Structure 1
């Protein structure tokens, strides 16, 4: 529990959204001047008012043929809406979060296997609709729970902070898309001030904050957030008690191998199993797969189990294909095969982080909805025990780990050091060295600057290397510059910041980097009018006049978002432009 009273001068609302692949939840905090913040949960949603203390709703939206949103969340599962969806042919949109994954994130999942998006709707628009719906749920609950808020809601919303959790493997591109969706969904206005009120935290770091509040081992530990879409792994150690602080000790890992893929594998297997059955039609298979997802997947325990998937009535029977009294029979070995890739990915990721960690790790904390599976928990305990690694779950409802932890992230800021997950750099022209064999290989790319200096094109300059410890204050700086023979030849400065995803350290040459291992993150631009102001006149050794200018690229992580800045000196003043 955060013991530090809120120091602001006026009341403020903070909302944390855990927009999950299969289920989503909201936590909130009303910050009152001089009072210790208290994390609260939305526990009553439209469509499931009868479920006491329900802190999550399905991540589902239903659209009509014109692409208009008709219902969402638990309301989409109400009998009347299910009937309306059939009669009016509404499109049920689910698992849409998986579509936002970075191209750099490998997965056996093909986009074509995902439920389609509604007509004339982009992914950002779907997220915007869902954010708008979550905000309406939060407004209704908070107004009903806190009487003093009713008349002041508009004022609170105008200054509210929104913290959105996302998988460890998501980067600046995904954060930018989510921010656009949040603004489009009415969370904040599209202004610098409004955009600054939409903040992000990785699901791993959010889960850390949740675990620290619940109490964890202070030595090296890994938090495994096993969710519907992704498996996120984060390794930490506690480095301070008063105030409480933690440091990341290995780069975070993210695999697209969550519980939805277990269901997809089950659906594929059932399709093949019933291919010659009267129950092999697509709609029957889909129904059986949905029933597997709701029941069998959640209760499966061992490979010795005989699993029955209830999907129909007593009259439904096809003994040749294992169907009796409306139940499909599956062996425990068959069901275990659906889980196997996820369990292997989890064990491999944990062992990889232990290997890369700066300190010994012997404890794993499981959070996330998928970790509630008794089979997953048992398998992880058995397989990791061979490596003398203990597995446990923190106290409290771990399904709330991301939403509660995202709020704690905003309030407490426990993490002092993070580990860079990837390397960052830019294209670069290296100073030509005639004794360097790599330079000689690229002799056709050598060119001469107005000053007479020879450079070789096609280089890659690393500014921040993967595995580096990064604090909020740390800046990673590299110098750049340009030369022209005439002042009128000066153009805008454009510096493209790139991410390297390949193994090891980035090569110094672009032609040695596979295309799939490098991607542009953002471009920082300085207007040519500014460049002209900082350009200096000089004379080359041959007597020619030229103009030169220098500037620095600075990469830093003021929190969980990467920012890139170009910094230059103009007279006695220092100036900068920034791009997130």
Structure 2
């Protein structure tokens, strides 16, 4: 770097009050259903690392904490696309792509499946939802880094070790989280870790109340975004020198975000406008303008006052006047009652989720001190009033810059001495299917088989190693014991053991996999011991297994005296829980050896 470049770097660093000792730059990405945002900080610069949210976006002079999560591909060249605020037309753009990353999530009644079907039809013929997510993330990251470079100077940016953190819904399946990671890495977002959205929101929000919180206090974080609403409850374990929190009950959530309001608004318009005119209107400029007005004005301003009036412009719609419905001169007068009817079913779902969390905390013998509403929908005045109405006596807070709370909290999670979540509460049962000695009572009606090595009658049963509500310390090791055999002269392929990890969301996990439709494959684990020293295995000799099976079945055998030498392999599959993901490894005799690959399917 030349003298002039050094001077430029020093000026840029001095302007931001960033000293040359700062080595790390954390870039946090909130990839949302309807809007996405970026925040960044310098962890070496306490107390807040110069925490900043990106507010300038391409194609617009309006500054905002987030950009629309939309993509539109060029039908003449599928390799080209526009994203976010660069889109000037709402026609044929892809929205809600994040929801498609987790098809296991059930849609609420007020979100028609046809909406997502229509979205799928807009995907280029060679792209999956994950590919589209990658394209959007790549553009989002490139813009974010260019903004940081503008603020810092590119030469100064090159001095920092950049690490990324992305937020994901708490209720997402592990497969969806893995798909998000893969999409991020394909977009050049690496190294990257994941954090649960409500946890990120908690780390940001709690800074505004930490002086009032004492050990034993419980707070509920309600992250109400565009696609999902997630809730997690935290108990303050330690207040100083820094806050330590633990999840007190399993997090909950549902796909009841504010995108449901947009769809309900569209349904109301369809009911308002005569069917012979709707087909033309729904794809018109007037529909685009009306949707934008609802999104940017009415949703934000509605406070619950039934006397409020909103005038929705329908330019060029050429609609007949229907005075009794408020439709006059290509303008629709929406009353507060009209808007309330759109909001109420969605608000009711959110109130139910909050009530469920509060009651779960109460069953633990605790009381909720505060409810934090964060996210775009969490900024709604009407939502706040309804939560206050239902939960009198509990402080309901909307932190400053609530829309950027997740991105900012995700960045803060990498700050030293910041509030930290020490443990999580399992939201699913996790286990494996294994063979057990057949029991005519327990295994009645279940298929049985004879063990290859023992000749004993066996049946498959579930062995649940983690159950819903288990309090799991960060980075604690949960060990799943396995006992396998290898031929004396085994190959590398022989030395890869396949195991299926299952999960279940039933309150009580079943003994047999066939007893519940909610027992799902979480992932398939491939444990490779090909490079493990043979000293870690035990050499054994046994009678030929077929002879034992024949003998057990009552048939004469001529091979009882035949012997077979094999290797006995005893190992633990180890699971560690981070904020949002599971990490897998394997141990033999307490030593980490071999490797484990997890493969997820959606």
Q: Deviations over 1:417-475 (max 9, x none)?
A: 11011111111112334xx5122433x41423423444213x11101111000112322
Matches of 1:126 and 1:440 in 2, distance apart? Answer: 48
**Residue 447 of structure 1: which of 445, 450, 453 is its match?**
450
Give matches, 1:259-338, under 5 Å: 259-276=258-275, 278=277, 281=280, 282-284=282-284, 286-287=287-288, 288-302=290-304, 304-305=306-307, 307-313=309-315, 318-320=320-322, 321-338=325-342
The 3 A distance-change label for structure 1 pair 497 and 203 is same
Matches of 2:295 and 2:46 in 1, distance apart? Answer: 47
Q: Deviations over 1:230-250 (max 9, x none)?
A: 111010011112132111111
Could you tell me how far 1:543 is from its partner in structure 2?
Answer: 6.8
2:104·2:173 contact (CA, 8 Å) conserved in 1? no
Unaligned runs of 5+ in 2: 1-17, 549-559
Matches of 2:541 and 2:19 in 1, distance apart? Answer: 54
Matches of 1:340 and 1:492 in 2, distance apart? Answer: 54
Residue 356 (1) aligns with residue 376 (2): no
Question: Structure 1 stretch 252-261 or stretch 169-178: which is displaced more?
Answer: 169-178
1:225·1:366 contact (CA, 8 Å) conserved in 2? yes
Matches of 1:67 and 1:507 in 2, distance apart? Answer: 47
2:525·2:596 contact (CA, 8 Å) conserved in 1? no
Residue 494 (1) aligns with residue 504 (2): no
Could you tell me how far 1:164 is from its partner in structure 2?
Answer: 0.5
Matches of 1:224 and 1:127 in 2, distance apart? Answer: 25
The 3-state SS of whatever aligns with 1:410 is: coil
The 3 A distance-change label for structure 1 pair 424 and 73 is same
Residue 370 (1) aligns with residue 377 (2): yes
* Residue of structure 1 in register with 2:581 after alignment: 561
* Residue of structure 1 in register with 2:82 after alignment: 71
* Residue of structure 1 in register with 2:165 after alignment: 163
Matches of 1:35 and 1:94 in 2, distance apart? Answer: 37
Could you tell me how far 1:34 is from its partner in structure 2?
Answer: 9.0
The 3-state SS of whatever aligns with 1:319 is: coil
**Residue 49 of structure 2: which of 37, 43, 46 is its match?**
37
2:108·2:256 contact (CA, 8 Å) conserved in 1? yes
1:227·1:259 contact (CA, 8 Å) conserved in 2? yes
The 3 A distance-change label for structure 1 pair 410 and 292 is same
Question: Structure 1 stretch 62-71 or stretch 464-473: which is displaced more?
Answer: 62-71
Matches of 2:406 and 2:414 in 1, distance apart? Answer: 12
Matches of 2:105 and 2:538 in 1, distance apart? Answer: 39
* Residue of structure 2 in register with 1:207 after alignment: 201
**RCO comparison, higher one (Cα < 8 Å, 6+):** 2
Matches of 1:511 and 1:361 in 2, distance apart? Answer: 39
Q: Deviations over 1:119-159 (max 9, x none)?
A: 13222222222222222222222222123xx2244564xx4
Matches of 1:35 and 1:260 in 2, distance apart? Answer: 36
The 3 A distance-change label for structure 1 pair 337 and 36 is closer
2:374·2:403 contact (CA, 8 Å) conserved in 1? yes
The 3 A distance-change label for structure 1 pair 409 and 171 is farther
Could you tell me how far 1:59 is from its partner in structure 2?
Answer: 1.7
Matches of 2:278 and 2:310 in 1, distance apart? Answer: 15
The 3 A distance-change label for structure 1 pair 488 and 135 is closer
Residue 398 (1) aligns with residue 410 (2): no
Matches of 1:145 and 1:448 in 2, distance apart? Answer: 67
Residue 93 (1) aligns with residue 104 (2): no
Unaligned runs of 5+ in 1: 1-5, 189-196
The 3 A distance-change label for structure 1 pair 483 and 7 is farther
Could you tell me how far 1:483 is from its partner in structure 2?
Answer: 4.7
Give matches, 1:11-160, under 5 Å: 11-32=23-44, 37-48=49-60, 50-52=61-63, 54-65=64-75, 66-77=77-88, 82=89, 91-108=92-109, 109-114=111-116, 115-116=119-120, 117-119=122-124, 120-147=126-153, 150-154=154-158, 156=160, 159-160=161-162
Could you tell me how far 1:169 is from its partner in structure 2?
Answer: 1.3
Q: Deviations over 1:323-362 (max 9, x none)?
A: 1133223443443232223212212112222222232224
Could you tell me how far 1:102 is from its partner in structure 2?
Answer: 4.5
The 3-state SS of whatever aligns with 1:324 is: coil
The 3 A distance-change label for structure 1 pair 378 and 128 is same
Residue 381 (1) aligns with residue 388 (2): yes
Could you tell me how far 1:495 is from its partner in structure 2?
Answer: 0.9
TM-score (norm 2): 0.81
Q: Deviations over 1:531-562 (max 9, x none)?
A: 97725304469876454332222222144311
2:306·2:340 contact (CA, 8 Å) conserved in 1? no
1:292·1:309 contact (CA, 8 Å) conserved in 2? no
Q: Give the superposed CA RMSD.
A: 3.1
The 3-state SS of whatever aligns with 1:304 is: coil
TM-score (norm 1): 0.84
Could you tell me how far 1:31 is from its partner in structure 2?
Answer: 4.4
Residue 220 (1) aligns with residue 240 (2): no
* Residue of structure 2 in register with 1:3 after alignment: none
Q: Deviations over 1:380-418 (max 9, x none)?
A: 221233xx4442223x21111000000111223610111
